[in-house]
């Protein structure tokens, strides 16, 4: 046997030396795959050119993934497993936690310690806030590892965290309402245009409340109905204000709409009189090179972004007021799509890999 190894002499030809490198295959596992977030995440990862999904777990379901998520029949042979996250950590490059609040808070620090090269993206709210006290106040339970909150990087690439995400081992994916609001307000705050409190009305579809039915998400309660909920008390508000780093305060009122997926935000931003025209320039400057944020004429529509990782944004200016409207799919750009975008950054893959597809249009 030669020193070059079993398959040859170890001397490469010119063609071999000049051939493009084979794309790296990333091994990924999803912890919690029966909810809408895990479902959408799997759909996106199955079409990612550089990802192999090795496992998807469930604490309630067994058997074929296609039996639980029938739209994925024929696209995967995966079956749900009850494997522990710590076991999956040693066999994968990245773990996604698509679990209810509280699960990743307990398990993510353990898997990161067990597998030093592992990356984790948490889709829940467990690592979005700065302190255990804030987590207890807004999520109603003590954080089991408050000392690890500082390890997490907020996963909003378009809003100043791209470099930190690329270097992170733990990324806290934004909440859907929070991300939509942040994308609407962040460029104006960065430009020093916000003068006073920002009022935000955010309208969401029923999938934002998760797969388990409740009085607020049951179809007869939402069909042909529209209502506000948790006015000025939503758990995403401290997350938004933390991300804005004190540059703006938010008065936030979410609304329940009779649609399955999508978020539409209207942000009323007070600005100094005479500077209203600067708002459009600040938004264009912030997003003109971003692959997934589109400035549109008029106002954006949810159906244009449904099923896609795009956020569409419109702006209007009046006397001392700028109104920013923004639409995104709460399950994709507001959740699973951004999780894949963050994974791409963390693992040195093209940021748009597996994500550049148009919306459904209806």
Let me know if 159 is a catalytic residue. Answer: no
Annotated catalytic residue, options 68, 95, 176, 193: 176
Beta-carbon contacts of residue 3 (< 8 Å; ≥ 6 apart): 10
CA dihedral (179, 184, 190, 196) positive or negative: negative
CB 189 within 8 A of CB 248: yes
Distance CA 132, CA 143 (A): 6
Q: Is 146 helix (H, G, I), strand (E, B) or coil?
A: helix
Burial label, 296 (beta-carbon count in 10 A; 0-12, 13-18, 19+):
middle
Distance CA 51, CA 57 (A): 17
Q: Is 12 helix (H, G, I), strand (E, B) or coil?
A: coil
Q: Where are the beta strands (DSSP E) in 117-247?
A: 119-122, 153-154, 170-172, 198-204, 227-228
Distance CA 19, CA 30 (A): 34
Counting every residue, how long is the chain?
A: 362
Distance CA 220, CA 13 (A): 68
Distance CA 330, CA 325 (A): 15
Beta-carbon contacts of residue 315 (< 8 Å; ≥ 6 apart): 279, 280, 283, 295, 322, 323, 324, 325
Distance CA 252, CA 268 (A): 11
- Residues annotated as catalytic are 176
């Amino acid at each position: 046997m030669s020193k070059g190894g079993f398959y040859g002499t170890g001397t490469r030809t010119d063609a071999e030396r000049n051939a493009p490198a084979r794309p790296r295959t990333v091994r990924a596992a999803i912890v919690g795959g029966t909810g809408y977030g895990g479902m959408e995440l799997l759909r996106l990862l199955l079409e990612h050119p550089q990802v192999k999904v090795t496992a998807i777990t469930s604490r309630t379901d067994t058997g074929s993934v296609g039996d639980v998520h029938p739209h994925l029949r024929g696209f995967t042979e995966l079956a749900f497993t009850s494997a522990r996250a710590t076991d999956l950590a040693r066999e994968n490059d990245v773990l996604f936690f698509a679990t209810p609040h509280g699960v990743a808070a307990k398990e993510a620090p353990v898997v990161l310690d067990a597998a030093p090269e592992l990356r984790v993206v948490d889709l829940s709210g467990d690592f979005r806030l700065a302190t255990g006290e804030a987590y207890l106040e807004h999520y109603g339970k003590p954080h089991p590892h408050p000392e690890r909150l500082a390890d997490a990087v907020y996963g909003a690439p378009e809003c100043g965290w791209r470099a930190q995400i690329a270097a992170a081992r733990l990324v806290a994916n934004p909440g859907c309402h929070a991300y939509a609001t942040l994308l609407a307000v962040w460029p104006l705050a960065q430009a020093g245009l916000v003068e006073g409190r920002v009022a935000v009305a955010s309208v969401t579809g029923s999938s934002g409340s998760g797969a388990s039915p409740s009085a607020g998400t049951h179809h007869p309660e939402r069909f042909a109905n529209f209502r506000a909920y948790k006015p000025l008390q939503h758990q995403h508000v401290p997350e938004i204000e933390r991300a804005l780093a004190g540059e703006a305060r938010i008065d936030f009122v979410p609304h329940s709409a009779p649609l399955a997926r999508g978020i539409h935000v209207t942000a009323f931003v007070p600005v100094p009189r005479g500077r209203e025209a600067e708002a459009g320039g600040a938004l264009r400057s912030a997003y003109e090179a971003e692959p997934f944020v589109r400035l549109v004429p008029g106002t954006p529509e949810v159906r244009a972004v449904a099923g896609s990782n795009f956020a569409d944004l419109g702006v209007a200016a009046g006397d001392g007021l700028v109104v920013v409207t923004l639409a995104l799919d709460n399950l994709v750009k507001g959740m699973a799509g951004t999780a894949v975008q963050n994974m791409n950054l963390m693992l040195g893959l093209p940021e748009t890999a597996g994500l550049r597809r148009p919306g459904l249009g209806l």
